[in-house]
Amino acid sequence: MAKEKPNMNVVFVGHVDAGKSTIVGRLMFDSGAVSEQEMAKLRQEAEKHGKAGFEFAYIMDKIKEERERGVTIDLAYKKIMTQKFQITIIDAPGHRDFVKNMITGASQADAAFLVIAAPSGVQPQTTEHLWLLKTMGVKNICVAINKMDEEEIGYSEEKFNKVKEAVSAELKKVGVNPETTTFIACSGLKGDNVVKKSENMPWYKGPTILEQFDLFPAPELPTDLPMRMPCQDVYDITGIGTVPVGKIETGIMKVGQKVKVLPGRTGKGIEGEIKTIEMHHEQLQEAQAGDNVGINIRGVGKKDIARGDVICDAAQPIKVVDEFIAQIVVINHPTVLAKGYTPVFHVHTAQVPCQFVELIAKINPATGEVIQENPDFLKNGDAAKVRIKPMGNLCLETQKENPYMSRFAIRDAGQTVAAGMCIELKEKQ
């Protein structure tokens, strides 16, 4: 079978009601990925729910509850072919309660569209979304200024530029250069500059959303790093047995390879051998970084592996950490964050409570220079170096060893409090 186009994961993020799902739905429809009949069915259903105009969003929001509430809850994945890539689109929830799913989405993305609704402009969550993308290592960001068709905007270039200016200020805060960032003027509902060039905005000379996919640099596949596959789910499949699924973050996985599952239930890990690798219902001899696969491991049963475990090359296993030093940014804490605080850390697919044992220094996030040694507390917007102790078994690597396995988000009481990456670690003996 011919090697297909390289896969690129693109996440759409933005404030609730910015129109992300509508843009993605319009993209699927105008590019022929969704048929006329299917669209007509969705249109009827939207009208039945009193949500006329939501039919494009329905393409992504398949879950019944989402249709009735009109919000995106879980991550929806869709494939689309462009000239250069096979694109997996991740439509991430903008709604507060659903940021947890968004983190999973952002951590799998190679590039992102930040969707801003022209009438409402920058929202408090815009900054949060940008910090998350930045900390999760999503370097390529394009800004889609949506709802240009709305009456108060009327496809106006002046109004577009105003929003662009406000977003540029936010981009600078997180160290993204607005000069080199593409801003697209579009309307998901009417289809302006999504797949087809808009006739309503002759002043706009940039790419459409579809063209922008191919303007993103091709993802660099970290195949030279040791093999790491965080387990996302474990299935029991009749005739095959235990099948862990997930995305290979780094390295190359081969049939017959000796692997170790860490931390496993004991924290000591369990060894096995890759028996089969399957992707898109096809058996493969090998798979590489960036591939989403289901595998079967000889010697590893249902009780030995769970979501959050990392399947790694037995010769170069990942470390189970005793404590680590991290660089974090506080995004959204209701009060202040002090020593002794023990929230839940979301690292790759694992969720482990960890304690802040030392606040080492406040730093300037753009340059990394120290602003204040040993602060008493951290508040929203602060970037800092901190010492962390996991309250359970946690697998992690440093930014230098493997950036893909060093990032995490910190959540508490249903909110993303902070995000960061590991810069030093002490291994469990």
pLDDT digit string, tens, across residues 300-331: 988 899 999 999 999 999 999 999 999 888 87
Residue 302: predicted pLDDT: 87
| Average pLDDT of the segment spanning 249-267 | 93
| Average pLDDT of the segment spanning 404-429 | 86
> With bands split at pLDDT 50, 70 and 90, how would you rate the model's confidence at 78?
low
Look at 39-43, 158-162, 248-252, 375-379 and tell me which has the smallest mean pLDDT.
39-43
104 vs 13: CA distance, rounded Å: 12
Checking if the pLDDT of 403 tops 90, the result is no
Residue 74: predicted pLDDT: 40
| Average pLDDT of the segment spanning 91-98 | 46
Residue 70: predicted pLDDT: 46
170 vs 128: CA distance, rounded Å: 10
Checking if the pLDDT of 134 tops 80, the result is no
| Average pLDDT of the segment spanning 414-425 | 84
- Does residue 385 or residue 330 have the better pLDDT? 385
What's the start-to-end Cα distance of the chain, in Å?
46
Percent of the chain with pLDDT over 90: 47
The helix/strand/coil state of 108 is: coil
113 vs 12: CA distance, rounded Å: 5
Residue ranges of domains in the chain, CATH in brackets: 7-215 (3.40.50.300), 228-313 (2.40.30.10), 319-427 (2.40.30.10)
| Average pLDDT of the segment spanning 104-114 | 70
Element (H, E) at 27: helix 20-30
Per-position b or e across 71-90, b if 16+ CB within 10 A of its CB: bbebbbebebebeebebbbb
Residue 233: predicted pLDDT: 85
- Does residue 67 or residue 272 have the better pLDDT? 272
Residue 318: predicted pLDDT: 95
Residue 156: predicted pLDDT: 96
Per-position b or e across 386-412, b if 16+ CB within 10 A of its CB: bbbbbeebbbbbbbebbbbbbbbbbbb
- Does residue 400 or residue 7 have the better pLDDT? 400
Residue 99: predicted pLDDT: 46
| Average pLDDT of the segment spanning 181-210 | 95
pLDDT digits (tens, 9 = 90+) for 143-154: 999 999 999 999
